[in-house]
Amino acid sequence: MSLSNQDIKKAMLSQSSDWDKQALWQEINDTLDQPNKKRFAWFWLFGISCVAIGLSAMLTISFTEQKNTKTVKTNQQTPNKKETQTTIKQITTPSKETKLIHSQKQVDKTIPVITNSRTTSTKRENPPKTNVTVNKTQATDYKHPIYKQQKITVNPSSIIHKQSTKTQRPSNTRQTVKSTSSTVSPIEGKKYIDLKENKTAPSIQQDKSTSIPVSDLEIAESGDLIPSKDPFLVSKEADQLIQNTLPSSLTDVSKISKESKRYSVPKWEFIPSFGLNQTIQNYTRINFDEKEIAKPGIKLSTTIGLEISRKLTPDFKARSGILFYTKKYKTQFQQSKSSAASNSYNLSIPLMVEYELSIGKINPYLAGGVGIDYYEPLGGSLYLLNTIKGYGIVQTMYNTGWSVSGLVEIGTHFRLFKQKISLAVLTDLSRERVVDANYYGVIGENLGNVSGTSYSNGNSVSLRLRYHLPIARKKAVYDYLNISK
Amino acid sequence: MNENLSEIITACKQGSRTALGKLYELYYESLSNAAIRYAFDSSHAKDLVHDTFVSCFKNMNQFRGDSNQLLPWMKRILINKALGQYRKNKKIESTDFVGYEQKEDKGVDLNENIFYSDIILIINKMNEVDRLIINLSIVEGFSHKEISQILEITEANSRKRLSRAKVNLIKLLKMHQVNKV
């Protein structure tokens, strides 16, 4: 027996397949119509990045708020312990270095004492040699808004004046500080303050009701007192002042009357939510031989969300975040006796404005806005079983793309176990484009035709339960005060 | 024909699904026949054809040759896919070739009443590597150097395996003939 390579080659080439050529072509088309995985990955990456940035921003804000609250608390505690303490000791700062600088500032501004920079500040680099003059007139002009409201005039220079009268400071002392002068006190000829040992001026009495540390005011190059760049630095002292001057019923948030409770809403809120979503899909096929409208398909699915809200005014809030909800529906076309079923998900970025009312213990609200939606098939996508056209096959259709939806939400806030919860009904009105991938699936018959395009109005109503996680409560008192004005 | 094929290639590069349909019509048979030779079962062969067309359509922009080089390019993609699968599943045994038919095997008598179908049957029962070597060497015309690089074996090993495969094929054919009688 002889078997040449040619015989083997001929035998091998004689094989042929008996598969369904059209079915395979259909599979190829289906695969090509599948959403681009890379694009999908980029989308998720973008989404996750947005959420991460949002979270980090919120955490930063929260951290800053907490830090400032701690500082204010510390400042509030000090005068209770030692009422006769001087301004220098009232300012408690975390680090020694800062304390030293603060103290030096106090001495520089409040006491007409000439100090030697070498003995007081070891880490300061070349203190300015130019004379820093406190302009009395301009300093008097400065009034913090809160002080204005409460008719309390805060004038650092006038405070100094009061102090100087109390301590019977020599009349020939000036409001000018020279950094290059000697350390000798003009009163007794002794070393006046030893900042290294953290000693304070013994003779200065603190007027608790009106004093405000000058450290919260910065000295401009011209020598004028200007408000600190960080408004909170001023407000924390203002807070202290309010604590000391106003009745406790006003300053204590817990004692604020029920009517004003809604004003103590935190400025920033982090709102995770969960809900049930009812999709009502009105489906229309347009690009086919005839226009067909299906019966509305209704199915229940779930929705989860993560939002951030910010109070704009006492009544209005802005809200945004990310909502993820699945959309399911099954519908039937009357004309072609075909049916369609969809299983997709939507990622929506809502941009909403919320108006809140206060009726007794509940706070109903109305919110409206737009949502930027991305919809993508989940698992089975959209199937269309068309029996009339003779295909006799389940056709896969893909609804993938972007759309803009209108959002209307009605709900109410309430308290449950001291936690703020809200229950709302969100209506989402959107329009999606659906591509019928298999319209040209039958080779020889429909090859060359454009793909079938359909539109569906993917309206949905969802019942959402949301939990409000406060991020910052600090502004509550001021908000209340602003309103009471 | 070549002009038409050039137009189809250009249209495919622009993403026309119609053009891909025409390409499918033209090369379906060649590619499916090649897939049968390299696949270890019928569903794998189908997958190979499917993946080849999808890959070709997605990467048509990378095709720089003229219209005559398109089929070899597509075949090469198919072979690469088959070999990739082979590398993944080196232990897969060749079985289950149900569903194939012999288009020219209507009593074609080679030597001493050997039919094409008998040769194919025996080859399909052979070792995966031997089958690949027979395909690559005898059908596709690759040199042993190229085969050794593709299958990651030595050149001598490739040569030895081919000669042994042929000897085995003849032996098995003889046994098969005896059984038939």
Indicate whether A336 pLDDT > 60: no
Contact B99 A29 (CB under 8 A): no
Q: What is the mean pLDDT of residues B1-19?
A: 81
Q: What is the mean pLDDT of residues A457-481?
A: 66
Query: Which pLDDT score, from 0 to 100, does residue A39 have?
Result: 62
Indicate whether A223 pLDDT > 80: no
Around Cβ A297, how many Cβ atoms within 10 Å?
21
Query: Which pLDDT score, from 0 to 100, does residue A481 have?
Result: 46
Q: Measured between alpha carbons, how far is residue A470 from residues A68, A167, A276, A416, B12 in Å?
A: 16, 47, 24, 15, 56
Indicate whether B49 pLDDT > 70: yes
Indicate whether B61 pLDDT > 50: yes
User: What are the residue ranges of helices labelled H in A35-95?
Assistant: 37-81, 87-90
Using a CB-CB cut-off of 8 Å, the residues of chain A touching B100 are 15-18
Among B27, B105, B106, B119, which would you mutate to test the A interface (most chain A Cβ atoms within 10 Å of its Cβ)? B119
Task: Work out the pLDDT band at B117, boundaries 50, 70, 90.
Answer: confident
Indicate whether A334 pLDDT > 70: no
Contact B99 A19 (CB under 8 A): yes
3-class DSSP state of B89: coil
Task: Work out the pLDDT band at B142, boundaries 50, 70, 90.
Answer: confident
3-class DSSP state of B141: coil
Indicate whether A215 pLDDT > 60: no
Give pLDDT tens digits for A309-320.
Answer: 888 877 888 989
Task: Work out the pLDDT band at B133, boundaries 50, 70, 90.
Answer: confident
Contact A14 B105 (CB under 8 A): yes
Q: What are phi and psi of B133, to 5 degrees?
A: -65, -40
Give pLDDT tens digits for A406-428.
Answer: 888 888 888 888 778 888 888 88
Query: Which pLDDT score, from 0 to 100, does residue A230 have?
Result: 47
| Alpha carbon of B168: minimum distance to chain A alpha carbons (Å) | 11
Contact B50 A447 (CB under 8 A): no
Indicate whether A91 pLDDT > 80: no
Q: What is the mean pLDDT of residues A190-195?
A: 43
Chain A: residue whose CA lies nearest to B118: A11
Query: Which pLDDT score, from 0 to 100, does residue A68 have?
Result: 66
Indicate whether A286 pLDDT > 80: no
Q: Is A447 on the interface with B (CB under 8 A)?
A: yes
Query: Which pLDDT score, from 0 to 100, does residue A338 have?
Result: 62
Whole-angstrom distance, CA of residue A84 vs CA of residue A294: 83
Strand partners, A394: A385
Q: What is the mean pLDDT of residues A275-297?
A: 63
Instruction: Please answer whether residues A144 and A156 qualify as being in contact, where contact means their C-beta atoms are separated by less than 8 angstroms.
Output: no
Q: Which residues of A399-425 are buried (b: 16+ CB within 10 A; e: fewer)?
A: bbeebebebebebebeeeeeebebebe
Task: Work out the pLDDT band at A270, boundaries 50, 70, 90.
Answer: confident
Indicate whether A85 pLDDT > 70: no
Q: Is A448 on the interface with B (CB under 8 A)?
A: yes
Indicate whether B129 pLDDT > 50: yes
List all residues 6 or more positions away from A228 whose beta carbon is below 8 Å from its beta carbon: A216, A217, A218, A234
Among the listed ranges A19-23, A331-335, A449-453, B24-28, which one has the minimum average pLDDT value?
A449-453
Query: Which pLDDT score, from 0 to 100, does residue A160 have?
Result: 44
Whole-angstrom distance, CA of residue A144 vs CA of residue A148: 6
Q: What is the mean pLDDT of residues A199-212?
A: 44
Give pLDDT tens digits for A337-391.
Answer: 566 666 777 788 889 998 888 776 778 889 999 888 887 765 444 445 444 444 4
Q: What is the mean pLDDT of residues A253-268?
A: 53
Whole-angstrom distance, CA of residue A132 vs CA of residue A161: 18
Q: Which two tokens stand for residue A64?
A: 């800053």
* Average pLDDT along chain A: 60
Nearest Cα neighbor of A262 from A365, A358, A364, A359 is A358
Q: Is B158 on the interface with A (CB under 8 A)?
A: no
Task: Work out the pLDDT band at A283, boundaries 50, 70, 90.
Answer: low
Instruction: Please answer whether residues A115 and A193 qualify as being in contact, where contact means their C-beta atoms are separated by less than 8 angstroms.
Output: yes
Q: Which two tokens stand for residue A345?
A: 């998900």
Chain A: residue whose CA lies nearest to B97: A17
Task: Work out the pLDDT band at B113, boundaries 50, 70, 90.
Answer: low
| Alpha carbon of B90: minimum distance to chain A alpha carbons (Å) | 22
Among A12, A36, A438, which would you mutate to test the B interface (most chain B Cβ atoms within 10 Å of its Cβ)? A12
Query: Which pLDDT score, from 0 to 100, does residue A236 have?
Result: 63
More confident of the two residues A297 and A464: A464
List all residues 6 or more positions away from A133 whose beta carbon is below 8 Å from its beta carbon: A175, A176, A177, A223
Q: What is the mean pLDDT of residues A324-344?
A: 68
Indicate whether B122 pLDDT > 80: yes
Give pLDDT tens digits for B145-172.
Answer: 888 877 778 888 888 888 888 888 888 8
Indicate whether A167 pLDDT > 60: no
DSSP letters for A183-231: SB-TTTSSB---GGGT---TTPPP-TTT---GGGEEEPTTS-EEE-SSH
Q: What is the mean pLDDT of residues A4-30?
A: 81
Q: Which two tokens stand for residue A218?
A: 């910065």
Indicate whether B96 pLDDT > 80: no
Among the listed ranges A169-173, A269-273, A472-476, which one has the minimum average pLDDT value?
A169-173
Q: Which residues of B53-62 are buried (b: 16+ CB within 10 A; e: fewer)?
A: bbebbeebee
Indicate whether A266 pLDDT > 80: no
Q: Is B141 left (phi over 0), alpha (psi -120 to 50) or beta?
A: left
Q: Measured between alpha carbons, how far is residue B72 from residues A25, A300, A304, A374, B68 in Å?
A: 21, 52, 52, 41, 8
Among B30, B52, B54, which would you mutate to test the A interface (most chain A Cβ atoms within 10 Å of its Cβ)? B54
Q: Does ipTM exceed 0.90?
A: no
Residues of chain A with pLDDT > 90, as a percent, come to: 0
Confidence (pTM): 0.36
Task: Work out the pLDDT band at A480, boundaries 50, 70, 90.
Answer: very low
Q: Is A274 on the interface with B (CB under 8 A)?
A: no
Indicate whether B9 pLDDT > 50: yes
The three-point CA angle B104-B109-B115 to 5° equals 65
Among the listed ranges A115-129, A368-382, B28-42, B107-121, which one has the minimum average pLDDT value?
A115-129
Contact B21 A25 (CB under 8 A): yes
Query: Which pLDDT score, from 0 to 100, does residue A397 have?
Result: 57
Among the listed ranges A70-79, A170-179, A221-230, which one has the minimum average pLDDT value?
A170-179
Query: Which pLDDT score, from 0 to 100, does residue A15 have?
Result: 77
Chain A: residue whose CA lies nearest to B168: A3
More confident of the two residues A287 and A308: A308
Q: What is the mean pLDDT of residues B82-108?
A: 52
Using a CB-CB cut-off of 8 Å, the residues of chain A touching B134 are 8, 12
Indicate whether A446 pLDDT > 50: no
Using a CB-CB cut-off of 8 Å, the residues of chain B touching A13 are 33, 139
Q: Is B35 on the interface with A (CB under 8 A)?
A: yes
More confident of the two residues A374 and A166: A374
Contact B170 A3 (CB under 8 A): yes
Among the listed ranges A129-133, A393-397, A399-403, which one has the minimum average pLDDT value?
A129-133
